[in-house]
Every structure is written in structure tokens, then in C-alpha cells.
Amino acid sequence: MDARAQGDARLAAFYRARFRDEFRPAFERWLASRPLTNPDAAPTPFVLPEYRLAAQDEADRLEAAAAAATETVKEDVERADRYVLAAVLFATALALAGIGGRLRLPLPRGIVLGLGCLVFLGGVAWIATFPVSV
């Protein structure tokens, strides 16, 4: 606009020939609104809806893909946490079985072994509710 306002048509044409393809429609519409004389015209062509960068569209697409991947990762981390807890339960059941096997009195031995069996069976039942990946 400076080159045009100064009457330098050659410089204006030089600049115009180097516009990005995404910028041309917005600039043409902005020029048609007569920005030098029309106070209601947009301040720049960059604010017009015709100005859309292809790189911005690609960035938006990649951001949406990243958000979807993030949700998948969250689910996978939760599933991994459940399996780690199941392993801890099984280790606890084994520890209780080991302790119960060393006890000499029958009542405490039965209680500790029974508790170990309950933890083991609870862990098996809980794992049976986990989703199966195909």
C-alpha cells in the first residue's frame, strides 16, 4: 500500500508478484473494500476470513491427531497401572503363603494361608475383568 500510495506502480507490482497464494484472495478483497478511503474497511488483509495459511491448517490437523494419541496413551497407562497392582497383589499372596507355611500353630497358619488364598483369588477375579486386546 505504501508503494501504491507513493505512486510507484513498479514496486507495488514487484511486491504483489511475491504474495503467497493464501494471501492473494484476502488482499484482493481488502483492496476492493477501499481501505484508504473507507473507514469501515478491515485494518489489514490478515484479519479477513479469506486469509488462511496452509501451514496453520496442517498444524490444526496435527494438534487434533496429537490430542487423540494422548487419550490413547492415558488409557494404556491406566491399564499398565492395573497390571502392576495385580502383580503386587500376587506377590502379597505369595508372601502370605510363605509366611503361613513357616508358622507352627495350626490356627495362625490357617488364617495366614486363607488370607493369602483370598488375596490370590481376588487378584485372579479382578484380572478377569480387564479388557482383552485383539
pLDDT, tens digit, for every residue of 61-99? 999 999 999 998 998 899 999 999 999 999 999 999 999
**Which SS3 state, helix, strand or coil, does residue 20 take?**
coil
- Cα–Cα distance measured from residue 111 to residue 106, given in angstroms and rounded to the nearest whole number: 9
pLDDT reported for residue 29: 87
20-33 pLDDT tens trace: 888 888 888 888 88
42-52 pLDDT tens trace: 888 888 888 88
Burial (CB < 10 A; 0-12, 13-18, 19+), residue 93, is buried
pTM over 0.75: no
- 126 against 46, higher pLDDT: 126
Domain-by-domain residue ranges, the chain?
2-47, 73-128
Q: Contact at 8 Å (CB) between 79 and 131? A: yes
pLDDT reported for residue 112: 95
pLDDT reported for residue 28: 84
